[in-house]
């Protein structure tokens, strides 16, 4: 959605940006006793992760089942670069009500 400010005639849009990324490594298997509930699984995975770090330090190896990158996105206002928070601005004597960015007040333009 493009945004246009009624007062300053600024155009912008709500965009999706990469906020963070991290490497995910999966073990070859999770033993049955660690799959009884999520808490047991989390404890086993924490222990496995600590052992994996030690293994890397000891062997200088990259022998893991898989590794992937998880990308974490967020929406932000293209104009002010703050996290996107739409707000309905009430009508005034000079302007009609409009939906816009809560941070900079730019108005949503339905064309984009």
* Summary mean pLDDT of the chain: 76
pLDDT tens, 48-103? 888 887 777 777 666 565 566 678 888 888 888 888 888 888 878 887 787 888 88
Could you give the angle at the alpha carbon of 30 between the alpha carbons of 26 and 32, nearest 5°?
165
> For the chain, how many structural domains are there in total?
1
109, 12 Cβ separation under 8 angstroms: no
What's the residue count for the chain?
Answer: 112
**How does DSSP assign 5-69, residue by residue?**
-TTT--EEEEEEEEEEEEEEEE-S---GGGGSSHHHHHHHHHHHHHHHHHHHHHH-----SEEEE
Asked whether the whole model's pTM tops 0.85, one would answer: no
Domain that holds residue 96: 2-109
């Amino acid at each position: 959605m493009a945004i246009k400010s009624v007062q300053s005639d600024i155009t912008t849009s709500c965009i999706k940006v990469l906020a963070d990324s991290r490497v995910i490594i999966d073990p070859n298997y999770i033993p049955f006793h660690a799959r009884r509930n999520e808490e047991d699984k989390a404890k086993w995975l924490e222990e496995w992760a600590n052992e994996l770090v030690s293994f890397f330090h000891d062997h200088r190896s990259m022998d893991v089942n898989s590794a992937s990158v998880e990308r974490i996105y967020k929406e932000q206002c293209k104009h002010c670069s703050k996290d996107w928070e739409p707000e309905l601005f009430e009508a005034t004597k000079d302007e009609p009500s409009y939906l816009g960015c809560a941070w900079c007040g730019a108005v949503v333009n339905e064309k984009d």
